[in-house]
Amino acid sequence: MSSIDQLFAELRSRDAKAFIPFFTAGDPDTSATAALVRAAVAGGADLCEIGIPYSDPIADGPVIQASYQRALDGGFKLQQVFDLGRTLAPEVASPLVTMVSYSIIHRIGLSRYIQQAQDAGYAGAIVPDLLVEEAAELAKLCRAADFSLIQLVTPTTPRERQLRIAESSSGFLYYVSVTGITGERNELPADLTDSVSWLRERTDLPICIGFGISDATVASKLAPVADGLIVGSAIVRRVHESGGGDAAVRAVMAFIDEIRSVM
């Protein structure tokens, strides 16, 4: 079992849900990212998602797009993600995963990316732009390495395709709560609960819901049906608006406490 498999098995044994915050690597710098991850884990994050800045974001809304651009403008390089993992993995108890474009993995080489990520302490990768028709080779390599390949299902994904995505995924499934890009929302689709419940009956993989979780009210509606909640834009916005440093840690921790209180 991978560390992510172990995490969800332990959570399920006590009927608990995973809280998964997203941080953009290098926004405002990698030292700040490391401090935020440490604080988040200390404050109850079960798994942390580290976004790799990319000049052509796939499904990211304006908040995360802007954070990627700030990191890139600051000179962020891919190697810094691996350095960040090597710094954090020995210090935090929660698994770390990257959110990474498949084009980056393909450019480095599939096996090489997996090896570099594992050597740096990452337990898996969320690959938002990997088509299920092209996932077989990466899925096979990830399973052989016990490295989780986390793929996305959206509200408009046909059900037969959802099952194919589940079959080629490992660790957990990332269920996109809304159609469109990332970002905070006050209302979510009325049929979301039924759609997630349908999929949960057909896969053993944990299902974590992301996109659109803006506050505790939204989180409280999703927690009963999900195995975990992923929060990105609301955290990234607080990091930026706080100006970074200790203020960012305080702002993010207050928000994490708010979300955790309803899970």
Predicted confidence at residue 13, as pLDDT, reads 97
For the cut 70, the answer to whether the pLDDT of residue 6 exceeds it is yes
- What would the mean pLDDT of 98-120 be, rounded to a whole number? 97
Domain that holds residue 182: 3-260
Is the pLDDT higher at 60 or at 2?
2
Q: Answer yes or no: 60 catalytic.
A: yes
For the cut 60, the answer to whether the pLDDT of residue 182 exceeds it is no
Whether this model's pTM surpasses 0.75 = yes
Catalytic residue selected from 27, 46, 60, 227: 60
Confidence of residue 164 (pLDDT cuts 50, 70, 90): very high
Q: Answer yes or no: 246 catalytic.
A: no
Secondary structure string (H, E, C) spanning the chain:
CCHHHHHHHHHHHCCCCEEEEEEECCCCCHHHHHHHHHHHHHCCCCCEEEECCCCCCCCCCHHHHHHHHHHHHCCCCCHHHHHHHHHHCCCCCCCEEEECCHHHHHHHCHHHHHHHHHHCCCCEEECCCCCHHHCHHHHHHHHHHCCEEECEECCCCCHHHHHHHHHCCCCCEEEECCCCCCCEECCCCCCHHHHHHHHHCCCCCCEEEECEECCHHHHHHHCCCCCEEEECHHHHHHHHHHCCHHHHHHHHHHHHHHHHCCC
Confidence of residue 190 (pLDDT cuts 50, 70, 90): low
In the chain, the percentage of residues whose pLDDT exceeds 90 is: 84
- What would the mean pLDDT of 182-191 be, rounded to a whole number? 52
- What would the mean pLDDT of 66-78 be, rounded to a whole number? 96
Predicted confidence at residue 248, as pLDDT, reads 96
Predicted confidence at residue 155, as pLDDT, reads 84
Confidence of residue 178 (pLDDT cuts 50, 70, 90): low
- What would the mean pLDDT of 48-64 be, rounded to a whole number? 83
For the cut 70, the answer to whether the pLDDT of residue 113 exceeds it is yes
Please tell me the least confidently modeled range out of 75-79, 142-146, 177-181, 257-261.
177-181
CATH number (domain holding residue 99): 3.20.20.70
Predicted confidence at residue 62, as pLDDT, reads 84
Catalytic residue selected from 49, 160, 167, 258: 49
Indicate the number of domains in the chain.
Answer: 1
- What would the mean pLDDT of 119-136 be, rounded to a whole number? 97
Predicted confidence at residue 181, as pLDDT, reads 43
For the cut 50, the answer to whether the pLDDT of residue 37 exceeds it is yes
